[in-house]
Each structure stands twice: as structure tokens, then as C-alpha cells.
Amino acid sequence: MPPTLVRRYLKPIVFAACLLPLLSVLWRAFGLAGTDLGANPIEEIQDTFGQWGLRILVITLAITPLRDWFDAAWVVMLRRMLGLFAFTYVLLHFLTWLVLDQGFYWSGILADIAERPFITIGFTAFVLLVPLAVTSTNKMMRRLGKRWKTLHRLIYPISLLAVWHYYWQVKADIREPLIYLSIVMVLLGWRVWKSKSRSSSRVTVARGAQQNAHATTPRRYEEYEPAKSAELSGSE
């Protein structure tokens, strides 16, 4: 897809789609058109934000594999926006818990974070997401250089923690967390496979280059590096 189409049409559509869960919560909170948030409105708000935070996080994680599987470089243009929406929903999920559920009752908040493992895990995932959101600007990308990519690899443990958090808070039916876990494992497993096959093809290229060098200047190389020459050319 041409970048202008993505910028002009697809990005605004995805932006509007990502806003829908928030608008639906607001719509129901104000009781518009006879709707409501059900018997437990705080839980409903918190669950909606948590679910969408997780969904968009997983979609963000899927961008690189989708680009490679479908040879669709343009999907990368949606990644930052999706990542920021994931963060926004997780932030709203956290704030709902902090303000509406706990009512800023700090000793209860600290006790929950320290003593309820699923909250500890969720909080850790949230804290790790903060630097990713803060460094998502072009300026920060330029300033951090190579370190930016390393920092943003935090998304891998974050997605596992997020699924773990969901799994631990589910009381009976663990099918949904397991579906998320399978998707995340495929997305992460594929990255591991890609980096392994890339490093083994790098070795093959290096060997090929070595063999060429060997063919043109055999004596010189063997004179200086006999052991290495055998090792690289695989002629051991």
C-alpha cells in the first residue's frame, strides 16, 4: 500500500477504531440511549480498558511479523500509534484501579501491589511500558540511536507479563489467557527463529567470503592464520 494512502486514510481509520472502546465506556457511563455499565460499573470500566490494552499490545507486537510474512512494509507506519494506544488503555486501566477502585487509599494500594501477585505482575508490566511511551517520539529515537531499539525490546517481556497478569486474575475459565499466550508465543518464537536463521546465514556468507579469499590469496592467508583458515572454510 502506498505511504500516502496509509497516512491519509488508513491511519485515521485505525485511530478512530482505537478510540471506540473509550467512547463506548463514556457513552455507557453517561447512560446515553438507555445504555449503562451494568451491575458493577467500576469493574466493567477497568476490565474494558485492561482487555483493550492487552489486545492492542498484542497487535503492536504482531506488526513486525505481519510486515515480513506479507511483505507489507507499510504496516510499520501504524506501529507507534498502536503502541501509544496500548499504553493509553493500560494507563486508563491502572487509573481506574487507583482512583475509582482504591480511591487513592495509599496503604491499600501499596499492600495490593506488594502482596497480590497478579497486581505485582500487572504493575511491573505497566512500569516497563512507561519508558517505551516516553521515548516514542522521533526526537527520542534520534537521541537514543541504537539504544532505542534495545530499549524497545522491553515489549517482549512486557507482553508475557501482561498475559501472565491476565491469566492469574482469571478465576475459572483460562481459555482466553491461553489463546493470548499462544499468539504471543508464536510472535516471539518467530522472532527468535528469524534472528537464529539470520545469524547462521551470516556465518554462511562469512564462510563463502572466506573461501573466495582463500581461492585468490591462498598462501598469504594460510601463512598468517592457518588454524582460523581451516575453521572458517570448514575444511577441518
Report the residue from 78, 125, 132, 155 that binds ligand HEM according to the rule CB under 6 A: 125
Rank residues 119 and 187 by Cβ distance to ligand HEM and give the closer one: 119
| Grid cell digits, residue 162 | 501482561
Report the residue from 122, 155, 184, 229 that binds ligand HEM according to the rule CB under 6 A: 122
Name the minimum Å distance from CB 192 to ligand HEM: 22
**162 touches ligand HEM (CB under 6 A):** yes
Could you count the other beta carbons within 10 Å of the beta carbon of residue 131?
13
What is the length of the chain? 236
The per-type count for the chain, helices as H runs and strands as E runs, is 12, 0
Dihedral Cα 187, 24, 174, 115, nearest 10 deg = 100
What are residue 59's phi and psi, to 5 degrees?
-65, -40
**165 touches ligand HEM (CB under 6 A):** yes
Name the minimum Å distance from CB 112 to ligand HEM: 7
Could you count the other beta carbons within 10 Å of the beta carbon of residue 125?
24
Binding site for ligand HEM (CB under 6 A): 43, 46-47, 50-51, 53-54, 57, 90, 93-94, 97, 119, 122-123, 125-126, 129, 162, 165-166, 169
